[in-house]
């Protein structure tokens, strides 16, 4: 589907127009078209081919022309033209929380700011506070946004990098003479963000493979092209690029190279030390006793020769993997029997109860919980108590009508500012599963998030704390939570904590997952799907769980439905 890319190009055009000082009708029409495009279920390439673009709400003749242009060429000339009129680094400011295009326009026109460095200098010099629309608080927020951006440092979220890498690896596998292609690096370790993608390849002849690699359709720039290593970038939207490295290695060294380039660096340092202790030499070509290669074709060979188990890539971080006698047998996606957090058209989802249930069945799930938003989540279409009661009976009816899957009644209930729940207890009691989440007041001193979570955990009907820290990767920092206290309370009260599998969140994150397990907290891994296709995100949640050393026992939704219901019942009493 090309729709997401087109919508983001349209939003980008609107942003750049606003930064250039334009406003009003033309900007709004791009935004309106972007919203329609993003929400449209059918592939726009098909709609364009059939000449039906202008039948879409908010898509006029000129938008339609730009869509056709994108479908045909993969770019929009008007976007490139706008980019040229602005300082190259100016649009980077859009990534700073608290800064929108209108404010950037002011910074540019009033102070001549052309990028993040200029802005930092201007803030320091006190030139920004006092500009129209910039109060002391808003400058403070912008400063915090800058330091957050600097920390995230241009890294790409797992969910953006993964499909690109898989597609590139797949296309190389189809090339003549290629015998093996694997993804290595942080991506193989399932890290939440990726600096660059590392691909390894074994083949008969390197040069044509390298040629094929740098000529792939999605390649933006070729940074280097050699016979053992090439690097390219691919566009990932909003003017950003992701670097992809391909290394060609001899078949007899493939395992050694895979081990080396999977990392992490910290893990590799420890492995190499263990080799040295045995008077062996380890590098990306193999394990050597003097000049004799004693391992390297497979990864397992290397680990086993050193008396180690072939660690799952996700735990190769030098976080204690060398110190345990037996490496735990980590959860896999096949252990998952259901998904306990998802939305439907009743709130802000795109699928009906039935569509979600059927999609879940196709994945072999035995149960799901439908958890639409509660009344205070107004922008997300949260349900009033009346509508929720109707929704509950709709879900029950769907469960009776649809065979082959159990559909649990649930809700994603807002945790209000004072930590109370957005629905009264009698509504929650009618739900089989209650996901309780904070959606408002995450920043600012109005309410302490630890207290809010503790009070929610205290409610006997709350089953799962949804996306516990509220972070959005590269976009919004985690709430400042005393995790130790929250987890102890969750463990003591039979409340589960979620690993939200959406790649935008991955919340809990790996280190928190590990802490939860050590505290005895039950976990769930849920996709928070707003569309049938988003069930795919389960894989990212599984990787995060594995990075936190999770086994199937630690996760509620690996259990059979009767055991899930029993477990929930224990808290309710």
Does 264 participate in binding ligand DGT (rule CB under 6 A)?
yes
Comparing CB distances to Zn ion, the nearer of 245 and 412 is 412
Beta strands in 284-330, from DSSP E residues, in sequence order: 286-289, 292-295
- Of 30, 36, 47, nearest to 4 by C-alpha is 36
Q: List the one residue from 437, 459, 469, 524 that touches Zn ion (CB under 5 A).
A: 437
Comparing CB distances to Zn ion, the nearer of 94 and 342 is 342
Q: Supply the minimum distance, in Å, between the C-beta of residue 165 and Ca ion.
A: 10
Q: Supply the minimum distance, in Å, between the C-beta of residue 470 and Zn ion.
A: 9
Does 284 participate in binding Ca ion (rule CB under 5 A)?
no
The residues facing 235 across adjacent strands are: 241
Window 196-235: contact mask with ligand DGT (x via CB under 6 A): x-x-------------------------------------
Comparing CB distances to ligand DGT, the nearer of 196 and 348 is 196
Q: Supply the minimum distance, in Å, between the C-beta of residue 269 and ligand DGT.
A: 6
Q: Supply the minimum distance, in Å, between the C-beta of residue 174 and Zn ion.
A: 40
- Of 252, 268, 276, 240, nearest to 184 by C-alpha is 268
Q: List the one residue from 61, 265, 277, 403 that touches ligand DGT (CB under 6 A).
A: 265
Supply 213's token pair.
């690699």
Q: Supply the minimum distance, in Å, between the C-beta of residue 270 and ligand DGT.
A: 10
Supply 140's token pair.
């403070």
Task: Please give the residue whose beta carbon sits closest to ligand DGT in the complex.
Answer: 263
Q: Supply the minimum distance, in Å, between the C-beta of residue 191 and ligand DGT.
A: 6
Look at residue 269 and give the partner it binds from Ca ion, ligand DGT, Zn ion, none, a contact being a CB closer than 5 to 8 Å depending on partner kind: ligand DGT
Does 502 participate in binding Zn ion (rule CB under 5 A)?
no
Site for ligand DGT in 151-180 (CB under 6 A): none
Q: Supply the minimum distance, in Å, between the C-beta of residue 261 and Ca ion.
A: 8
Look at residue 261 and give the partner it binds from ligand DGT, Ca ion, Zn ion, none, a contact being a CB closer than 5 to 8 Å depending on partner kind: ligand DGT
Burial class (CB in 10 A: 0-12, 13-18, 19+), 237: middle
Does 196 participate in binding Ca ion (rule CB under 5 A)?
yes
Q: List the one residue from 10, 162, 254, 261 that touches ligand DGT (CB under 6 A).
A: 261
Comparing CB distances to ligand DGT, the nearer of 58 and 154 is 154
Q: Supply the minimum distance, in Å, between the C-beta of residue 185 and ligand DGT.
A: 3
Window 342-381: contact mask with Zn ion (x via CB under 5 A): ----------------------------------------
Phi, psi of 157 (to 5 degrees): -60, 145
Window 394-433: contact mask with Zn ion (x via CB under 5 A): ----------------------------------------
Question: Are 395 and 432 a contacting pair, CB within 8 Å?
Answer: no
Beta strands in 140-291, from DSSP E residues, in sequence order: 156-157, 178-184, 193-194, 197-203, 219-225, 229-235, 241-248, 281-283, 286-289
b/e map 302-341, b = 16+ CB within 10 Å: bbebbebeebbbbbbbbbebeeeeeebebbeeebbbbbbb
Half-sphere exposure of 151 (CA within 13 A, CB side): 11
What is d(CA 412, CA 529) in angstroms, rounded to the nearest whole number?
12
Residue 262, helix vs strand vs coil: helix
Comparing CB distances to ligand DGT, the nearer of 82 and 506 is 506
| Choices 164-172, 177-185, 413-421, 522-530; region in contact with Ca ion by CB under 5 A | 177-185
Phi, psi of 362 (to 5 degrees): -60, -30
Look at residue 544 and give the partner it binds from Zn ion, Ca ion, ligand DGT, none, a contact being a CB closer than 5 to 8 Å depending on partner kind: none
DSSP letter string over 511-547?
HHHHHHHHHT--EEEE--BSSGGGGGGHHHHHHHHHH
Q: Supply the minimum distance, in Å, between the C-beta of residue 197 and ligand DGT.
A: 8
Residue entry with tokens 């060398």:
322
Q: Supply the minimum distance, in Å, between the C-beta of residue 184 and ligand DGT.
A: 6
Site for ligand DGT in 231-260 (CB under 6 A): 260
Look at residue 437 and give the partner it binds from Ca ion, ligand DGT, Zn ion, none, a contact being a CB closer than 5 to 8 Å depending on partner kind: Zn ion
What is d(CA 205, CA 495) in angstroms, rounded to the nearest whole number?
56
Question: Are 49 and 72 a contacting pair, CB within 8 Å?
Answer: no
Query: Other C-beta atoms within 10 Å of 402: how many?
Result: 15
Q: List the one residue from 185, 296, 466, 468 that touches Ca ion (CB under 5 A).
A: 185
Supply 199's token pair.
């691909």
- Of 149, 53, 44, 138, nearest to 99 by C-alpha is 138
Q: Supply the minimum distance, in Å, between the C-beta of residue 231 and Ca ion.
A: 8
Kindly state the helix (H) or strand (E) to which residue 208 belongs, with its residue range.
helix 206-214
What is d(CA 64, CA 508) in angstroms, rounded to the nearest whole number?
41
Residues that bind ligand DGT (CB under 6 A): 185-186, 191, 194-196, 198, 260-261, 263-265, 268-269
Binding residues (CB under 5 A) for Ca ion: these are: 185-186, 195-196, 198, 245
């Amino acid at each position: 589907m090309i729709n997401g890319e087109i919508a983001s190009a349209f939003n980008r055009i609107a942003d750049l127009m606003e930064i250039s000082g334009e406003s009003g009708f033309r900007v709004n029409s791009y935004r309106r078209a972007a919203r329609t495009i993003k929400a449209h279920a059918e592939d726009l390439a098909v709609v364009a081919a059939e000449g039906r673009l202008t039948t879409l709400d908010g898509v006029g003749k000129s938008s339609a022309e730009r869509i056709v242009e994108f479908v045909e060429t993969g770019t929009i000339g008007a976007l490139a033209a706008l980019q040229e009129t602005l300082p190259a680094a100016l649009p980077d400011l859009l990534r700073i929380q608290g800064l929108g295009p209108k404010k950037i326009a002011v910074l540019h026109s009033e102070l001549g700011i052309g990028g993040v460095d200029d802005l930092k200098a201007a803030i320091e010099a006190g030139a920004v506070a006092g500009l129209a629309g910039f109060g002391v608080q808003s400058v403070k927020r912008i400063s915090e946004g800058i330091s957050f951006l600097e920390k995230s440092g241009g890294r790409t979220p797992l969910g953006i990098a993964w499909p690109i890498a898989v597609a590139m690896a797949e296309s190389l596998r189809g090339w003549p003479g290629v015998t093996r292609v694997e993804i290595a690096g942080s991506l193989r370790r399932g890290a939440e963000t990726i600096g660059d993608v590392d691909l390894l390849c074994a083949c008969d002849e390197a040069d044509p493979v390298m040629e094929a690699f740098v000529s792939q359709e999605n390649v933006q720039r070729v940074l280097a092209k050699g016979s053992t290593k090439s690097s390219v970038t691919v566009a990932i939207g909003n003017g950003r690029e992701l670097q992809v490295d391909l290394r060609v290695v001899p078949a007899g060294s493939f395992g050694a190279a895979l081990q080396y380039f999977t990392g992490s660096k910290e893990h590799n340092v420890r492995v190499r030390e263990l080799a040295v202790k045995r008077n062996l030499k380890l590098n990306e070509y193999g394990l050597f006793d003097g000049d004799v290669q004693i391992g390297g074709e497979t990864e397992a060979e290397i680990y086993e020769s050193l008396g180690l188990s072939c660690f799952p890539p996700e735990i190769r971080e030098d976080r204690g993997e060398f110190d345990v006698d037996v490496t735990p047998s980590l959860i896999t996606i096949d252990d998952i029997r259901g998904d306990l957090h998802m939305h439907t058209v009743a709130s802000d989802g795109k699928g009906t109860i039935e569509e979600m249930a059927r999609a879940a069945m196709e994945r072999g799930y035995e149960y799901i919980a439908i958890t639409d938003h509660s009344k205070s989540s107004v922008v997300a279409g949260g349900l009033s108590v009346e509508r929720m009661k109707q929704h509950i009976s709709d879900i029950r009816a769907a469960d009776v009508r649809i065979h082959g899957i159990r559909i649990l009644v649930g809700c994603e209930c807002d945790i209000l500012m004072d930590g109370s729940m957005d629905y009264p207890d009698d509504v929650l009691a009618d739900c089989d599963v209650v996901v309780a989440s904070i959606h408002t007041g995450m920043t600012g001193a109005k309410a302490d998030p630890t207290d809010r979570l503790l009070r929610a955990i205290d409610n006997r009907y709350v089953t799962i704390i949804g996306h516990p820290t509220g972070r959005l990767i590269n976009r919004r920092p985690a709430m400042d939570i005393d995790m130790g206290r929250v987890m102890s309370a969750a463990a003591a009260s039979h409340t589960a904590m979620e690993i939200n599998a959406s790649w935008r969140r991955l919340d809990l994150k790996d280190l928190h997952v590990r802490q939860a397990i050590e505290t005895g907290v039950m976990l769930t891994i849920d996709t928070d799907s707003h569309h049938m296709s988003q069930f795919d995100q389960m894989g990212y949640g599984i990787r995060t769980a594995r990075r936190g050393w999770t086994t199937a026992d630690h996760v509620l939704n690996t259990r059979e439905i009767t055991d899930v219901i029993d477990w929930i019942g224990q808290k309710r009493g």
